[in-house]
Amino acid sequence: MPSVNYHGTSIYYEVHGEGFPIFTFAPAGVLSTIAVWSQPMAPIKPVTDFTGYKVIVMDQRNAGGKSRATMTALDGWQSYTEDHIAVLDDLKIERCHLFGQCIGGSFIANLIKAQPNRVGAAIWAQPIGRVGPMKPRPARFNDWINGLKKDHPELTESIADSIYRNMYEPDFIYCADREFVRNCQTPSLLLAGNDEAHPRPISDELSRLLPNVEYVTEWKEGAALEAAKVKAKEFLAKHTPR
């Protein structure tokens, strides 16, 4: 399977199926990799659930998969978005749908900010965000940093602090403000979050701000999950060029 290499960064991705492209971003925060799609934390599995489309999955940079990038104090949401654009460019994809869970919601927002005309429609599943003041670096982030130090001698605590602030110091959905969301014309299907990392108030606010959104509040298991899969397929079909 291919990788795209640019400016010393190597991003691994896979392409499954044929049809209009759906570019996907797995959950698990900074540990977002292709393998996560097979885990229980991902109720909707795009490769098997979205047949009839060209589904692109990828390992995010330095997430424990096959993608690697030098770490600097400037790393943040834009670094990931540059990776995503590099994958689309490598595949010569001019327009696609997006499906992202967890951190994937912020990846969606930032890619739409950068190249809105490239996105046909987006499914935001339990997007991350913050309600209230910023908290110190959590254990999960520190474990990620400590796990990288062996293979990244350039990674200092100062750089780690800068990356954390770059990504999580802003509130709301971190990478975009409310004014952007209020003016985001991309057709969106929003599947609500309901825990600390994916706060329900963030999903509720997104549902009020996004001007072209369909909102599903229950979707993770049982009959609600099956209904959400049907809804997602109908949503994608409605916004796929004929």
Tell me the per-residue pLDDT of 82-104, one tens digit each, with 9 for 90 and over. Answer: 999 999 999 999 999 999 999 99
Beta bridge partners of 3: 12
Helix axes 103-114, 77-90, angle to 10 degrees: 70
**All domains in the chain, ordered by first residue:** 3-238 (3.40.50.1820)
State the pLDDT at residue 140.
Answer: 95
State the pLDDT at residue 1.
Answer: 65
Give the span between the Cα atoms of 185 and 99, in whole angstroms: 16
Give the span between the Cα atoms of 147 and 140, in whole angstroms: 11
pTM score, whole prediction: 0.98
How do the pLDDT tens digits run along the chain, 242 residues long?
699 999 999 999 999 999 999 999 999 999 999 999 999 999 999 999 999 999 999 999 999 999 999 999 999 999 999 999 999 999 999 999 999 999 999 999 999 999 999 999 999 999 999 999 999 999 999 999 999 999 999 999 999 999 999 999 999 999 999 999 999 999 999 999 999 999 999 999 999 999 999 999 999 999 999 999 999 999 999 999 98
pLDDT in tens, 164-183: 999 999 999 999 999 999 99
CB contact at 8 A, 86 and 79: no
What is the rounded (10 degree) CA torsion for 172, 173, 179, 183? Answer: -150
CA within 13 Å, CB half, 130:
14
Question: What's the 3-state SS for the chain?
Answer: CCEEEECCEEEEEEEECCCCEEEEECCCHHHCCHHHHHCCCCCCCHHHHCCCCEEEEECCCCCCCCCECCCCCCCCHHHHHHHHHHHHHHCCCCCEEEEEECHHHHHHHHHHHHCHHHEEEEEEECCCCECCCCCCCCHHHHHHHHHHCCCCCCCCHHHHHHHHHHHHCCCECCCCCHHHHHCCCCCEEEECCCCCCCCHHHHHHHHHHCCCEEEECCCCCHHHHHHHHHHHHHHHHHCCCC
